[in-house]
């Protein structure tokens, strides 16, 4: 049996096992098909870029390979637990970080969905999972099946705060913030949404979320992708741009088209500036003057790294970016499970 935490983000899936093994890959699934070039070019590399699975007689490309599919998609439905692709991403992530057949899973949901969906989500992922045939990828030509014996679902954002305030040894990372009645806020910028949460520290060092100051904003990295796509259309006379080339533009800030270099540096800068301002405006509408009284203010999520220079000035440059920003929620899920288990053990012994 092994404990595994999985953060099923709209942009990327992040998973970490109690052994320390971790993985991150795009939250993309597409219909799979036989790749005829294999016999010409030789064997396909057995790596994360080539995950081709068969599950219940259907073929799927997962992660980066899904960009080659004729019908690639992300799971944007509000009730993600009911989507078949959720199970595919979840099983792929778990198998990539754990060799165990029996899994205790920790995962999460955005704050706006947590109250209404957590129970159903937990029930939907528990139990014996379908057999996964790895046609290519890290477990090429192998069949694997896991049993999620127990699942816990935590609120995103609050879990990231836990990873920020408490280290892997269970000690306080910022002891000066752990005084009773201290207010700690966190902004978690993801692919499609930005979660924000404020917690109040209790007498025993635990914390409770303040619902009226916490929620979700429909702004994130996807808005940056949208602006790049639009700029590409303008510069090329209406051509479409797929996911693979957006990543290249974000890295290089340019792209060659018909032999000419297209510059996206200005578009990227203005887009980040605009998105950060929109997020800050929405948060300040909820927090009002109370944000000036927060004892600590943290930044997390894959978008946290992208937008930090642009969102910092809106909060007087006093935000602390969490180490391992992208994995903050997954690490928090794992540590929260351990804290709950340790507490249960103390009660039994007490």
- d(CA 83, CA 313) in angstroms, rounded, equals 39
| 180 and 50 inside one domain | no
Q: Which contacts (CB < 8 Å, 24+ apart) does range 261-268 have?
A: 262/232, 262/235, 262/236, 264/228, 264/231, 264/232, 267/227, 267/228, 267/231, 268/224, 268/227, 268/228
Query: Could you tell me if 74 and 28 are in contact, meaning their C-beta atoms sit under 8 angstroms apart?
Result: yes
User: Where in the sequence is the domain holding 188, given as residue range(s)?
Assistant: 158-220+270-349
| 120 and 70 inside one domain | yes
| 27 and 97 inside one domain | yes
> Does residue 306 lie in a domain region?
yes
Q: Position of tokens 């887009």? A: 271
Structure tokens at 228: 């790049």
Q: Which of 99, 132, 154 is the last residue of a domain?
A: 154
* CA nearest to 50, candidates 77, 74, 32: 32
| 53 and 198 inside one domain | no
| 26 and 83 inside one domain | yes
> Does residue 263 lie in a domain region?
no
CA angle in degrees (0–180, nearest 5) for 216-301-77: 50
Q: Which of 127, 154, 181 is the last residue of a domain?
A: 154
| pLDDT of 81 | 65
Q: Note the Cα 64 to chain centre separation in Å.
A: 15
Number of domains in the chain: 2
Q: Which of 102, 135, 154 is the last residue of a domain?
A: 154
| 75 and 144 inside one domain | yes
β 147-155/102-109 pair status: parallel
> Does residue 345 lie in a domain region?
yes
> Does residue 179 lie in a domain region?
yes
Measured from the Cβ of residue 42, the count of other Cβ atoms closer than 10 Å reads: 8
- d(CA 60, CA 261) in angstroms, rounded, equals 34
| 116 and 6 inside one domain | yes
Residue 157 sits at φ, ψ, to 5 deg, of 90, -60
Please report, for the domain that includes residue 12, its CATH number.
Answer: 3.30.420.40
Q: Block means of pLDDT (10 residues each) for the chain, length 350 residues?
A: 94 94 94 70 76 95 89 70 87 97 94 84 94 95 96 90 86 91 94 92 86 91 96 93 87 94 97 97 94 94 93 96 91 90 73
| 165 and 213 inside one domain | yes
> Does residue 252 lie in a domain region?
no
Measured from the Cβ of residue 73, the count of other Cβ atoms closer than 10 Å reads: 14
| 214 and 122 inside one domain | no
| 313 and 177 inside one domain | yes
| 49 and 176 inside one domain | no
Helical (H) or strand (E) element with 183 = strand 183-189
| 142 and 186 inside one domain | no
DSSP for 16-69, written as a single string: EETTS-EEEEE--EEE----TTHHHH-SPP-SGGGEEEEETTEEEEEGGGGGGS
pTM listed for this prediction: 0.89
| pLDDT of 207 | 87
> Does residue 66 lie in a domain region?
yes
Query: Could you tell me if 110 and 156 are in contact, meaning their C-beta atoms sit under 8 angstroms apart?
Result: yes
- d(CA 311, CA 305) in angstroms, rounded, equals 10
In terms of residues, how long is the chain? Answer: 350
Residue 267's contacts (CB-CB under 8 Å, 6 or more residues apart) are 227, 228, 231
> Does residue 7 lie in a domain region?
yes
> Does residue 144 lie in a domain region?
yes
Q: Which contacts (CB < 8 Å, 24+ apart) does range 167-171 have?
A: 168/335, 170/335, 170/338, 170/339, 170/342
| pLDDT of 80 | 66
Query: Could you tell me if 82 and 10 are in contact, meaning their C-beta atoms sit under 8 angstroms apart?
Result: no
Fill in the DSSP letter of residue 153: E
């Amino acid at each position: 049996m092994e404990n595994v935490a999985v953060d099923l983000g709209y942009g990327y899936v992040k998973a970490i096992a109690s052994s320390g093994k971790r993985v991150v890959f795009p939250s993309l699934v597409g219909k799979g098909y036989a790749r005829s070039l294999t016999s010409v070019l030789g064997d396909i590399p057995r790596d994360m870029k080539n995950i081709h699975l068969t599950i219940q007689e259907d073929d799927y490309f997962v992660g980066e390979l899904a960009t080659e599919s004729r019908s690639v998609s992300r799971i944007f439905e509000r009730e993600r637990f009911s989507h078949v692709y959720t199970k595919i991403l979840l099983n792929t992530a778990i198998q990539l970080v754990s060799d165990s057949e029996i899994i205790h899973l920790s995962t999460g949901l955005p704050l706006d969905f947590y109250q209404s969906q957590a129970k159903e989500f937990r029930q939907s992922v528990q139990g014996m999972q379908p057999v996964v045939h790895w046609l290519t990828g890290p477990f090429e030509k192998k069949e694997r099946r896991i049993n999620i014996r127990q699942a816990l679902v935590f609120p995103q954002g609050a879990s990231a705060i836990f990873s920020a305030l408490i280290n892997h040894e269970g000690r306080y990372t910022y002891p000066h913030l752990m005084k009773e009645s201290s207010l700690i806020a966190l902004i978690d910028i993801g692919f499609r949404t930005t979660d924000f949460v404020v917690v109040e520290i209790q007498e025993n060092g635990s914390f409770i979320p303040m619902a009226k100051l916490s929620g979700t904003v429909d702004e994130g990295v996807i808005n940056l992708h949208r602006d790049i796509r639009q700029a590409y259309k303008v510069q090329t006379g209406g051509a479409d741009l797929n996911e693979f080339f957006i990543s290249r533009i974000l890295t290089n800030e340019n792209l060659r088209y018909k032999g000419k270099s297209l510059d996206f540096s200005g578009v990227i800068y203005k887009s980040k500036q605009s998105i950060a301002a929109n997020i800050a405006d929405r948060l300040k509408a909820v927090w009002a003057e109370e944000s000036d009284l927060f004892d600590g203010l943290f930044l997390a999520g894959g978008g946290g790294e992208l937008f930090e220079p642009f969102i910092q000035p809106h909060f007087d440059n006093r935000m602390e970016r969490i180490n391992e920003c992208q994995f903050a929620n997954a690490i928090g899920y794992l540590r929260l499970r351990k804290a709950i288990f340790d507490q249960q053990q103390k009660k039994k012994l007490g």
